[in-house]
Structure 1
């Protein structure tokens, strides 16, 4: 299967994850935690960053997202028994995530794992195995897994909030209904995104470097967009939140720079930024609901829910990753070095 096949499969897998939520979280939702730490690398880390505000909103406790390398013995207080650390690894075999989970376990934390496969390495150390049931993804650049991991974190949060009384049953069901609306709307955004990529694919294929700019509400998606473009197109790509970009990054923009802006409507200065940057480069592409209707822009029928828009804005980027690299002779589903993690001893193979 190709990247676009896994993207197409996403709505089906999201529905299955929704249906299995009550069973999957039956044990962990009965627990009480004073703090939750989410850790993982790459796409897993971005899933946590994108889910942070939702988790804080519904749980009303401290939630922290850390890379595995940021976790050591000094991360935890003397009594860590009411802290839950969630280790995320799409393949379930990340040694760095496993090591961070082990440190947390030794510090007295309770441990949960979210792997995209059963019987994963990170499950071995976990008190609560919360498998991300998205099915196998046999490509280097994961797409379906990103949606599924964010959904898993969301449902974990909603189930915990329901059990603790922070959400009533009706409020919980309303949130599930909102997510279902996005799942059903996914194919429409897919088709609009495919058409947009097809219109601009020649220009994307000639890009020398790319800057992705996103509003703060989709910072995790912005980072993930940059990572996926870099993995598949194999050119320099960086992603920045809007405010961070205007605090210096703009100095690097030149005539052959390509800029992709994820515009959720939350930042009033997007139009001004585009006007300024247009003096330096014509390669500016905007993805949004209310953007100017022209070929370079994707004006899509986004639903734009504050928490669940995360299932929309990343989609056109993923389709760039699927459809554009082959124009340059690159197979986006195959890593540049298929034995890289063996050489670096970074994953259990």
Structure 2
């Protein structure tokens, strides 16, 4: 259905974040069409025992993927989900996970922290699954059960721009398939969610074009950001935390993520006029409160950007993701504005936050296995 579009003339010839955003719909569509085979092994593993909990162990964007999919898994599968950073799990938080399936996540399969977590989970006697994007990655040497997301493709996945939405899709598909087979999620709701996933994948190119227009309307402000704050809660916290990471590691500006209500308990006091605040408005539970915060923030800065599923606001800083689906599926779309603005700010301003000093640091402080 989707063919990879030609890159825009003003994009770099070398593969870059925007290219990976362009690849995402085709990758997601292929994953969806092959969903039973793709997630079947993880479904079988989960259903083989009466697990009371899933522990998702990861770092970086993999941890953000876990945040993007947590509430979908809990809702569709009816099981508690804990999220733990890899080194925190390996050193401190490896206890009290009886009757849990531990899923250790690494996009490249090279994360030394996540490999250490796999080893610790095995030592503790937990059932552990390692999952990555890349076949035959280093993590496969440390875990008996290794799965792949099904999103691997030629060339780099630059800053995991293809991997975040598609890996989130993987876990959503897993939860739906396992939930309906276990009998905890109704078949009619399962069918509705699957139709909605098809809609999301189909709408990705249109939403990308809308985001490009939103970026173009605000690009001069975005070029001059000195500080960024992303704000989300529940299912929107995953895109918010990934958004902060993207702006930090690409544009090179200070960026922090906050839970929506906690944002009001201190962080708002540091906001300056040249700071940018990105508010995520994804579901109905927090909509009224988010809009109250949105209006109030204009007392502190004009640079208040609202990413919302609710139509009706024509302000140029508002990006409306007008796809009518279950809100638990929307992290796949809500992460896109941050991927695109980070890619295009870097292109337009000729920014590369990774310097020779960063390279030297990464060589001295190893985080990836060979």
Question: Is the TM value for this pair above 0.5?
Answer: yes
* Matched pairs, number: 348
Q: Give the whole-Å Cα distance in 2 for the aligned partners of 1:158 and 1:276.
A: 39
Cα separation, partners in 2 of 1:302 and 1:19, compared to 1, 3 Å: closer
Q: What is the match of residue 251 of structure 2?
A: 233
Q: What is the match of residue 237 of structure 2?
A: 219
Cα separation, partners in 2 of 1:227 and 1:88, compared to 1, 3 Å: same
Q: What is the match of residue 8 of structure 2?
A: none
Tell me if the contact between 1:189 and 1:300 (Cα under 8 Å) persists in the aligned partners: yes
> Unaligned stretches of 5+ in structure 1?
none
Q: Give the whole-Å Cα distance in 1 for the aligned partners of 2:332 and 2:64.
A: 13
- SS at 1:286's partner residue? strand
Of 28, 32, 35, which residue of structure 2 is paired with 1:14?
28
Q: Give the whole-Å Cα distance in 2 for the aligned partners of 1:191 and 1:333.
A: 28
Q: Give the whole-Å Cα distance in 1 for the aligned partners of 2:52 and 2:250.
A: 40
Q: CA deviation at 1:140?
A: 4.7
Query: 1:26-85: per-residue Cα shift (whole Å, max 9, x none)?
Result: 3332322222110110110111122111111122222211001221477456894x4211
Q: Give the whole-Å Cα distance in 2 for the aligned partners of 1:315 and 1:88.
A: 21
Asked if residue 50 in structure 1 is aligned to residue 50 in structure 2, the reply is no
Q: What is the match of residue 27 of structure 1?
A: 41
Query: 1:148-182: per-residue Cα shift (whole Å, max 9, x none)?
Result: 11111112222222332223555433322221111
Q: Give the whole-Å Cα distance in 1 for the aligned partners of 2:303 and 2:96.
A: 53
TM-score, normalised by the number of residues in structure 1: 0.91
Computed over aligned residues only, the root mean square deviation of the Cα atoms, in angstroms, reads 2.4
Asked if residue 318 in structure 1 is aligned to residue 324 in structure 2, the reply is no
Q: Give the whole-Å Cα distance in 2 for the aligned partners of 1:255 and 1:90.
A: 37
Q: Give the whole-Å Cα distance in 2 for the aligned partners of 1:142 and 1:73.
A: 26
Q: CA deviation at 1:138?
A: 1.8
Tell me if the contact between 1:98 and 1:122 (Cα under 8 Å) persists in the aligned partners: yes
Judge which range, 154-163 or 175-184, deviates more. 154-163
Query: 1:99-153: per-residue Cα shift (whole Å, max 9, x none)?
Result: 0111001111111122111111222333432201212462552211001111111
- SS at 2:330's partner residue? helix
Query: 1:226-263: per-residue Cα shift (whole Å, max 9, x none)?
Result: 10011111011111121011111110012221112222
Q: What is the match of residue 109 of structure 2?
A: 92
Tell me if the contact between 2:157 and 2:163 (Cα under 8 Å) persists in the aligned partners: no
TM-score, normalised by the number of residues in structure 2: 0.86
Tell me if the contact between 1:225 and 1:318 (Cα under 8 Å) persists in the aligned partners: yes
